[in-house]
Amino acid sequence: MVILSNFRFSDVSHSVKLPKMKFYKTLIICLLFLSSSLSIYAQKGHDLWLQYAEITGDNLKNTYLDEIQSVTFSSQSETTGKAQEELQIAWRSFFGQELAVNTTLQNKALWLATEKELPKPLQQQLKTDFAHINEEGFLIKKLQFKGKAIMLISAKKEIGLLYGTFRFLKELQLHQPIEKIAITDSPKIQKRVLNHWDNLDRTVERGYAGFSIWDWHLLPELIKPEYIDYARANASVGINGTVLTNVNANSLVLSPQYIEKVQALADVFRPYGIQVYLTARFSSPVETGDLETADPLDPEVRKWWKNKADEIYQSIPDFGGFLVKANSEGQPGPNNYGRTHVDGANMMAEALAPHNGIVMWRAFVYSEDDPEDRAKQAYSEFVPFDGQFAENVLIQVKNGPIDFQPREPFHPIFGAMPDTPLMMEFQITQEYLGFSSHLVYLPKMFQETLETDTYTAGKNSTVAKVIDGSLSHKKLTGMAGVANIGNESNWTGHPFGQANWYGFGRLAWNPYLDSRTIAEDWLKMTFSTDEEFVRTVSDMMLQSRESVVKYMTPLGLHHIMATGHHYGPGPWVSNLSRPEWNPVYYHKADSLGVGFDRTTSGSDALSQYANPIQQEYENPETTPEEFLLWFHHLPWDYQMKNGKTLWFNMSSTYQEGVEEVQKMIQTWQGMKKFVDEQRFQKVSMLLQIQLKEARWWRDACLSYFKQFSKMELPENVPQPEHNLDYYKSLKFPFAPGIRPSWN
């Protein structure tokens, strides 16, 4: 896109020799046409939900322009400068004009002022509003001040003014009548962080949208405009932190050479209220060659981390802290020295504490040497440490106990560590949900986890309450999302992948939001405010998550994806060195039935949940059917609630999933008039890939499981296109997102 927009007619015409002029003229005209149309369309994708589409309705446009005739800033900071820039970007795009900036407040002005900058009487008048917001919150209010009609955006801090500005602009994007714009809002979670699994060579682990957006080689000198757009997009939904590097960490990022590069990014993000964090490889003191051990109780090691933290803070005074994957999937950690997670996390916490930095210590641990059900291991390892972590440690827990599956029950750690701040980790990148070629609206899934009752402190102890700290009065709170962003011109590959980034941000700000509202807002800002379009496409988005569960892992099946890259089905895989990496470990299909018995007669993972979950799920008849095979091993002819067999239900659910994708295709075709050609075509083509892959999933899984069930497919389910050997033979050595060493 950048190349095309820099393309100049004169550059080409001079280099063309006369005899070939006609041919080249045609070529150039074609190229120009292509370049202009491509850059317009690519721009739409690049602009995400900040399209600021022209406001055309005369009434609406005139009211907005009449009510807001200028803007006045009481504070002049880098952050309010960004608010000003954003207002101008929006005004030009909405109305084709600049918004006048006045130093003195005029009638019909937008006024940005922090609480302290407001005149005393106004502070007094708004006392109750200010009492309701926190340090990052804001209020937007229409009021009369000294005979002037004012639209006030106020906050305790400058960052609140920027968030308020983005919210105000969102209201305009949603075509909200100006008299209805009255908002008081604050984030309910403190650390709202993207986790980039980006490597220093710019590959992205589980990344499906191209290479990393961080151009390490050219940093710190080259600051790409994309970095600013990234910051704008994040700030617009309230994301206030970014972990730049992969949790499978490289200690090089802690070297002075890289700290300088990180500093350059931190400088770009700071005015947008975004802190940078790094992943810290536990063995760094050894790998840098400085020490012979990384034992967290060794005084030299502790000093090493302290010095490292001091060094980073010298360059980046608002550095956020470290994210650590320790003793997990081959990463080094305190266990290597006979020490515990508490020893490791607290050592780093001690180094960061004087600078107000935090440690996000991951609870994603399981071991090949532990014969225990993998779903139980993290709980068994972490819950006994409840209350022992330092104050500036957040334990980062994945939403479910296995690994970002299309559907998992909530992680039993939520609610089980009342004396430890727990941070949610969602995966926005679709490692197990069709990569960036499947349209799957994830906020629906995130909401499902957040609103689930853990019952750990009686009824209504939802996961959201654990995360926002309200269940057990936590001071430090957080939510992380593994980013789905890459250097694709539209950031996420699939145009609908943007909704997952957007939705993550909205839920991190307020984990009680309804995913339908989020989808509707996103559609209006990204595509069109047309009612028919928004209703139809939001229905499709909300259904999409259930569809992927149906055609990949219905009824509680899980982790039956192909090896390594996790692309496509692989329920037959049984030859991997670690038992819990093999799909057969999870479905346990045999002639007697299918599913993982996690009740008292099996692994007893259920005992990690509170009652009534334990009691209800102990019995297959009272277990929600979407989790049936997660908790039970049942005969193929087990009778389900609809009176049909398990095999019948499994097969028809796979088929339903495929049919739902067909329906999505039809729905999308009907939306052509609302969407620009480029995005319309891209989504259409991707939906065809999704359909092909949904059929592949259905056919491969049913062919495989049929060997055990020995039962016929229901009439409405077509016979698989190929035999099982064919599906088993498929290999994808170059599927994206894979760690080279796992290939």
Minimal distance, residue 213 CB to ligand GCV, in Å: 18
Minimal distance, residue 596 CB to ligand GCV, in Å: 18
- Pick between residue 424 and residue 687 the one whose CB is nearest to ligand GCV: 424
d(Cα 58, Cα 215) in Å, to the nearest integer?
44
SS3 73: strand
- Pick between residue 206 and residue 598 the one whose CB is nearest to ligand GCV: 206
Helices 256-269, 299-315: inter-axial angle, 10-degree rounding: 40
364 touching ligand GCV, by CB under 6 A: yes
- Pick between residue 136 and residue 425 the one whose CB is nearest to ligand GCV: 425
Minimal distance, residue 488 CB to ligand GCV, in Å: 20
Pick the catalytic residue from 226, 267, 287, 329: 329
Judged by CB under 6 A, the chain residues 185 through 204 that form the site for ligand GCV are: 197
- Pick between residue 282 and residue 364 the one whose CB is nearest to ligand GCV: 364
- Pick between residue 329 and residue 386 the one whose CB is nearest to ligand GCV: 329
Minimal distance, residue 118 CB to ligand GCV, in Å: 46
Residue whose pair of structure tokens reads 């990234």 in the numeric block = 230
SS3 271: helix
Phi, psi for 50 (deg, rounded to 5) = -105, 45
- Pick between residue 129 and residue 205 the one whose CB is nearest to ligand GCV: 205
Burial class (CB in 10 A: 0-12, 13-18, 19+), 386: middle
Q: Which amino acid is at 48?
A: L
Alpha-carbon distances of 713 from 320, 548, 662, 693, 699, rounded to whole Å: 55, 20, 20, 20, 11
Minimal distance, residue 411 CB to ligand GCV, in Å: 13
Minimal distance, residue 227 CB to ligand GCV, in Å: 23
- Pick between residue 369 and residue 725 the one whose CB is nearest to ligand GCV: 369
**For this structure, is 403 an active site residue?**
yes
**For this structure, is 11 an active site residue?**
no
- Confirm if 247 and 195 have CB atoms less than 8 A apart: yes
- Confirm if 545 and 339 have CB atoms less than 8 A apart: no
248 touching ligand GCV, by CB under 6 A: yes
Pick the catalytic residue from 425, 431, 546, 597: 431
140 touching ligand GCV, by CB under 6 A: no
Q: What is the DSSP string of 297-308?
A: T-HHHHHHHHHH
693 touching ligand GCV, by CB under 6 A: no
d(Cα 485, Cα 393) in Å, to the nearest integer?
27
Binding mask 281-320 vs ligand GCV (x if CB under 6 A, - otherwise)?
----------------------------------------
d(Cα 238, Cα 159) in Å, to the nearest integer?
10
Judged by CB under 6 A, the chain residues 404 through 423 that form the site for ligand GCV are: none
Out of 129, 198, 373, 403, point to the residue binding ligand GCV (CB under 6 A).
403
Minimal distance, residue 205 CB to ligand GCV, in Å: 5
Judged by CB under 6 A, the chain residues 626 through 665 that form the site for ligand GCV are: none
Pick the catalytic residue from 403, 425, 448, 580: 403
Minimal distance, residue 478 CB to ligand GCV, in Å: 16
- Pick between residue 480 and residue 499 the one whose CB is nearest to ligand GCV: 480
Minimal distance, residue 448 CB to ligand GCV, in Å: 20
Q: Which of 166, 136, 188 is nearest to 511 (CA)?
A: 188
Judged by CB under 6 A, the chain residues 585 through 624 that form the site for ligand GCV are: none
CA angle 66-71-75, nearest 5°? Answer: 160
Minimal distance, residue 248 CB to ligand GCV, in Å: 5
- Pick between residue 197 and residue 227 the one whose CB is nearest to ligand GCV: 197
- Pick between residue 281 and residue 325 the one whose CB is nearest to ligand GCV: 325
Per-residue b/e over 81-112, b at no fewer than 16 CB within 10 Å? ebbbebbeebbebbbeeebeeeeebeeebbbb
Pairing outcome for strands 148-155 and 138-145: antiparallel
Burial class (CB in 10 A: 0-12, 13-18, 19+), 371: exposed
- Pick between residue 398 and residue 587 the one whose CB is nearest to ligand GCV: 398
Out of 122, 181, 247, 594, point to the residue binding ligand GCV (CB under 6 A).
247
Pairing outcome for strands 138-145 and 183-185: antiparallel
Q: Which amino acid is at 223?
A: I
SS3 391: coil
Ordered strands of the 100-101 beta sheet: 100-101, 70-73, 109-114, 148-155, 138-145, 183-185
567 touching ligand GCV, by CB under 6 A: no
Minimal distance, residue 398 CB to ligand GCV, in Å: 7
Task: Count residues binding ligand GCV (CB under 6 A).
Answer: 10
- Pick between residue 328 and residue 690 the one whose CB is nearest to ligand GCV: 328
Out of 136, 158, 205, 295, point to the residue binding ligand GCV (CB under 6 A).
205
Rg of the Cα trace of the chain? 27
Q: What is the DSSP string of 653-692?
A: HHHHHHHHHHHHHHHHHTTGGGS-HHHHHHHHHHHHHHHH
Query: Torsion angle, CA of 468/473/476/480, rounded to 10 degrees?
Result: -20
Q: Would you give the DSSP letter of residue 205?
A: T
325 touching ligand GCV, by CB under 6 A: yes
Out of 46, 191, 196, 206, point to the residue binding ligand GCV (CB under 6 A).
206
Q: Which of 553, 594, 195, 205 is nearest to 405 (CA)?
A: 553
CA angle 477-479-480, nearest 5°? Answer: 140
Alpha-carbon distances of 453 from 202, 414, 415, 423, 442, rounded to whole Å: 40, 10, 9, 17, 20
Judged by CB under 6 A, the chain residues 722 through 741 that form the site for ligand GCV are: none
Minimal distance, residue 322 CB to ligand GCV, in Å: 15
- Pick between residue 162 and residue 480 the one whose CB is nearest to ligand GCV: 480
Burial class (CB in 10 A: 0-12, 13-18, 19+), 380: middle
Binding mask 422-441 vs ligand GCV (x if CB under 6 A, - otherwise)?
---------x----------
SS3 54: coil
**For this structure, is 329 an active site residue?**
yes
Helix H, strand E, coil C: the string for 534-565 is HHHHHHHHHHHHHHHHHHHCHHHCCCCECCCC
Q: Residue 404: left (phi > 0), alpha (psi -120 to 50), or beta?
A: left
Q: Which of 581, 582, 608 is nearest to 411 (CA)?
A: 608
- To which H or E segment does residue 583 belong? helix 583-587
**Contacting positions for ligand GCV (CB under 6 A):** 197, 205-206, 247-248, 325, 329, 364, 403, 431
* Residues forming the active site: 329, 403, 431
